Amino acid sequence: MPHILIVDDKEENLYYLQVLLAGNGYAVETAHHGAEALVKARQNPPTLIVSDLLMPVMDGYTLLRYWKADARLKSIPFIVYTATYTEPEDEKLALSLGADAFILKPSEPEDFLARFRDVQTKGVVAVPDQPTAVSGDDSDRLKDYSVILIRKLEEKTLQLQEANEILQNDIARRKEAEDKIQHLAYYDLLTNLPNRRLLIDRLQHTLAVSARHQNHGAVLFIDLDHFKTLNDTKGHSMGDLLLIEVANRLQTCMRGGDTLARLGGDEFVVILQDLNEDVSQAAIQAEVVAAKIISVVNQPYYLDSYLYHSSTSIGVCLFRNQEITVDELLKRADIAMYQAKNAGRNTLRFYDPTMQAALEARAALESDLRIAIKEQQFKLYYQIQVDHARNVHGAEALIRWQHPQKGLVPPLQFIPLSEETGQIIAIGQWVMDTACAQIKAWENDPMTCDLQIAVNVSACQFHDPGFVQQVSDMLKHHQIKPGRLKFELTESLVLDNVEEAVIKMQALRDFGVHFSIDDFGTGFSSLSYLTKLPLDQLKIDQTFIRNMCMNDRDAVVVQTIIGMANNLGIEVIAEGVELESQRAFLEKHHCNLCQGYLFSQPLPLAEFEAKLKNISVLM
């Protein structure tokens, strides 16, 4: 394998030629300047040498002179491969010193290999003899050589000066970019206030200082009231203008040493240092600052000629020493801020441990609820729906949560939470699927084959884009008879978007699903909507049933609902029937179906089926 020596002071040039030649079957050795090349060549003479011209320690011209003066090396072909060519004299001088080829960088790989192989084939074109004395030609050659070297050194010097200027400018730009990155890392882009990262750093420092000096400090968690409304109605650019102006106003309320930061969105945080050692005095000092903030935020804003009024809710949490972590401190201030929101907004509240305990219990319940969904800890209870002759027409399926440690968890504790967290969709799907499975199981029993099961559907579940398809898939899976499944919807759910409700209800009705309006009479709906909705039943809310025998107004409401439903051809049922007098009133006024403790409380499946058998025996 031919052995090639490559000489260049730039690693990228060495790498390029090394890859090119090695890939074409050559063994490659490298050197970074002429002196190194001579040492390596004398130790292991190559088949051919490729050298740059301008290099440190020993340049290519000098290497060429020594090469041709060496008895062992002068017969080895020498190729000059350079990018420093500026005049024809450069090539002329190299060839006069004995170079076998002069190739300019950059050169296409094919072109370079062609010239390279041509030299390899022809070998050394001419090996100049070394004269014993300096002839006129040699003197002129050396003079030309010196002139060219001086010129190239001057060119290189200029290049280095230009490169140095570029480098200095690059360093300046990089420093500017690093400063900008540093600023972006610690400051909010919109308001130029410290961001969350810098806030946490300063809060940690403040806690440490408080521990040394035994003074109190305070964190004020500030949230603008109804900021989302401004964003939604006037656009985010208007919201940004408000945030900038609020930031400017808040800075006027700061004392020396205090920190104001933007946490994100419309939330700001203030760190108050060096408050009184006495907790009550420290609270007064924090309250003064908070009250000042509320006052300045309340002043009118002119946002791009638009007049706007704002307010803020502030949560305050005092601290001393390092008793709690930074995260815990911010969480407590946030909790206090929500207390201020619940108190009517535009006010401040100090952190209340009682609320913290309630939130922790809620968080634990939310976590348990996720596990309950995964492990199917739920059960369905059934409450019968009967006519006045005690004939059973159906049942309402009511979910119960059998917690492994806490026992039976009431629906009022976990249903609202599941709606807030979106878990109601998975829970509702389970309820529907379980109810359909039960309907299918009852089809082979003459006692239960005609029963209808009513299932409550939440607004979150009903408005889910995939709700109709989910129900369709479930009905196809269980293959239940049409009319056996009934969905109970609240007035507010249906009337939130009547057009959407009509479309979905009609689509589901085509699958055999019936509909009942639950808690009818408690909403603020226009009764004209009843003619647009594909309803099968109205369920009178139990609050009217409870008082109708004692309160004339409730009695009138119940009679009106019954009469209206009958006139519209809609079935009517009363829930919460607990007394015989209530049942008699309903029968008198032609409400034919009832549900309540007078007939049965909600029962687990086995007890419900036993109840049905007892009723059948009595009938």
Q: Is residue 140 one of the residues assigned to a domain?
A: no
Q: Is residue 39 one of the residues assigned to a domain?
A: yes
404-428: average pLDDT: 90
51, containing H or E segment: strand 48-51
> Strand locations in 363-508, DSSP E?
378-387, 392-403, 407-409, 452-456, 485-490
432, containing H or E segment: helix 424-442
One domain, residues 85 and 228: no
Q: How far apart are CA 507 and CA 496, in angstroms?
A: 18
CA dihedral sign of residues 177, 179, 185, 191: negative
One-letter amino acid of 211: A
Q: Is residue 181 one of the residues assigned to a domain?
A: no
One domain, residues 565 and 499: yes
CATH number at residue 267: 3.30.70.270
One domain, residues 394 and 325: no
- Alpha helix ranges (H) inside 510-551: 542-547
Residue with tokens 């059948």: 616
- Place 161 in a pLDDT band, splitting at 50, 70 and 90: confident
* Structural domains in the chain (count): 3
One domain, residues 444 and 586: yes
Q: Is residue 115 one of the residues assigned to a domain?
A: yes
One domain, residues 508 and 550: yes
One domain, residues 408 and 529: yes
One domain, residues 343 and 367: no
Nearest alpha carbon to residue 64 among 126, 151, 139, 154: 126
541-545: average pLDDT: 91
CATH number at residue 503: 3.20.20.450
CATH number at residue 85: 3.40.50.2300
pLDDT for the residue numbered 278: 85
One domain, residues 347 and 367: no
Q: What b/e readout covers 29-66, taking b as 16+ CB neighbours within 10 angstroms?
A: bbbbbbbbbbebbeeeebebbbbbbbbeebbbbbbbbb
Q: Is residue 157 one of the residues assigned to a domain?
A: no
One domain, residues 371 and 515: yes
CB-CB contact of 409 with 379 (8 Å): no
Bridge partners of 571? Answer: 537
- Place 521 in a pLDDT band, splitting at 50, 70 and 90: confident
Tens digit of pLDDT for each residue in 341-393? Answer: 988 999 999 987 765 577 678 888 889 999 999 999 999 999 999 999 999 99
514-526: average pLDDT: 77
Show which of 130, 152, 180 is a domain's final residue.
Answer: 130
Residues near 600 by beta carbon (within 8 Å), at least 6 away in sequence: 383, 384, 608, 611
Query: pTM of the predicted model, to two decimals?
Result: 0.53
Q: Is the pLDDT of residue 84 over 70?
A: no
Domain of 20?
A: 3-130
Q: Is the pLDDT of residue 421 over 90?
A: no
Q: Is the pLDDT of residue 147 over 70?
A: no
Tens digit of pLDDT for each residue in 555-611? Answer: 999 999 999 999 999 999 999 999 999 999 999 999 999 999 999 999 999 999 999
Tens digit of pLDDT for each residue in 277-307? Answer: 888 888 889 999 999 999 999 999 999 889 9
491-505: average pLDDT: 88
Least confident of 373-382, 412-421, 431-440, 570-579: 412-421
One domain, residues 225 and 320: yes
